[in-house]
Structure 1
Amino acid sequence: MVSRTGPRRSESVRLAVLNAADDLLVEQGFAGTTIEGIATRAGVAKQTIYRWWKSKVDILLDALADDAREALAWREAAGTPGEDLVAHLHRVAGFFEEPAGQVFRALLGHAQLDKEAAAALRAGFLHEQRERDLEGLRVIVRRHSGGEPDEATLVRLTDLLLGPLYYRVLVLGEQAETALLDASAHLVLELAARPAGPA
């Protein structure tokens, strides 16, 4: 059993709970993942979990946020803007195949039926990731075009970049093949280099 005394050990308990929730969701699905099961897998008492989270949805939201900060981070420049953009899209596509991506899918599905869960997902993970995506693409566009994109254009380019990937994976339930990712990156960079038109 994981010790629950002291701030450092409390962090180890938090991570044990998040990892247990990830594992159980992959193994048993959303409906089969319970607070009781998470507590048993993590080696902690249910009371410990309820001190920090009010539901399994809150646990999964925390697990998703932790995992995504690394998995969906935009990396430092390693090639041309186009190469770096395609590489990022491949990381996003790979994320959906990992346990954290399965947690994301499960939470999105549950959010369609639970307004409180939907609000928490949007205010937490989705908001954080949106900010990361906007800033990451801003850097790529700046390198590619030599200019600073206005905010409205950046928002549209971000939607164009990620929309096809999310649609293929989350709506059609298929993998996003390389040709789709390459085409999305190419289109976004082509549009980013064009002079801004009238509002």
Structure 2
Amino acid sequence: MITSPSSLRRSERSRRATLDAALELCTERGYGRVTVEAIAARAGVSKKTIYRWWPSKGAVLLEAFAEVFVNATPFVDTGDIDADLRTHVTGAVKLLSTPPYGPAYAGILTELHHDDVLGRAVREDVVGPRFEAAVGRMRRAQEQGQIPAGADLPLAVEMIYGPVYYRLVLRKPPQDEETVAALVAHVLRSLRAVPADPAVDAPAATGG
């Protein structure tokens, strides 16, 4: 059966209404009290429609979050990796400290431990692409000589994101711009540290 343009428009309107309703309810009630039934009622769609597009409320909220998160956390390339990482991390922190996005994502991160499908979606739709984009931006900086050739870029990205996730999941106060700057500076300083030369540090051989 070929879908008509009018039905596609209706589907998009329903999809948008569902995502908006889920975010509104998350703000009003908190993630744990949001239900698919409530989302359907607020959006003016049936539960059947929601389950045709998403397997759970977590999946609905993940799609709503991911759309905004990607646009709010670009990986710009001004030629200055320090400034660009500060821009990126500051954007992520601001979004994650703003309702409903921060509470929604924190709820998703909690629920994924009990929902393998949601966990895979988080990795494939949010964490994986952003992680690869971060490594790619740092690799360009490496090619420009701003980061040493032997630096472990995936580990560096985990060092940058780790404190952000730590504060979100434990509901600690988010980083301010000064703290973000210190975090980025610390990670990049660790990458630029000159490793010890084994030949110099090794004890001199003694004849026997």
Please report the TM-score for the alignment, with normalisation by the length of structure 2: 0.77
Say which structure is richer in helix: 1
Distance (Å, rounded) in 1 between the aligned partners of 2:149 and 2:7? 47
Distance (Å, rounded) in 2 between the aligned partners of 1:148 and 1:25? 45
Partner of 2:25: 24
Answer yes or no: is the 8 Å Cα contact 1:165–1:181 preserved in 2: no
Distance (Å, rounded) in 1 between the aligned partners of 2:89 and 2:56? 32
| Aligned-partner SS, 2:97 | coil
Q: 1:37 to 1:96 in 2, by over 3 A?
A: same
Aligned length: 192
Answering whether residue 177 of structure 2 is matched by residue 168 of structure 1, we say no
Distance (Å, rounded) in 2 between the aligned partners of 1:46 and 1:5? 21
Answer yes or no: is the 8 Å Cα contact 1:145–1:192 preserved in 2: no
Answer yes or no: is the 8 Å Cα contact 2:31–2:103 preserved in 1: no
Partner of 1:180: 179
Partner of 1:51: 52
State the structure with more CA Rg.
Answer: 2
Alignment RMSD (CA, Å): 2.7
Unaligned runs of 5+ in 2: 198-208
Shift of 1:115: 3.8
Identity across aligned pairs (percent)?
29
Answer yes or no: is the 8 Å Cα contact 1:141–1:192 preserved in 2: no
Partner of 1:158: 157
Partner of 1:133: 134
Question: What pairs up with 1:67-106 in 2 under 5 angstroms?
Answer: 67-77=68-78, 80-98=80-98, 99-106=100-107
Distance (Å, rounded) in 1 between the aligned partners of 2:172 and 2:147? 37
| Aligned-partner SS, 2:45 | coil
Distance (Å, rounded) in 2 between the aligned partners of 1:102 and 1:140? 33
Shift of 1:94: 0.3
Q: 1:96 to 1:182 in 2, by over 3 A?
A: same
Q: 1:13 to 1:82 in 2, by over 3 A?
A: same
Distance (Å, rounded) in 2 between the aligned partners of 1:172 and 1:21? 21
| Aligned-partner SS, 2:190 | helix
Distance (Å, rounded) in 1 between the aligned partners of 2:7 and 2:194? 57
Please report the TM-score for the alignment, with normalisation by the length of structure 1: 0.80
1:76-97: CA deviations, max 9, x gaps? 42x7332222122211110112
Letter in 2 for 1:91: G
Q: 1:142 to 1:31 in 2, by over 3 A?
A: same
Letter in 2 for 1:14: R
Shift of 1:181: 1.1
Distance (Å, rounded) in 2 between the aligned partners of 1:192 and 1:10? 48
Shift of 1:5: 4.1
Shift of 1:121: 2.3
Distance (Å, rounded) in 2 between the aligned partners of 1:83 and 1:131? 19
Distance (Å, rounded) in 2 between the aligned partners of 1:76 and 1:44? 42
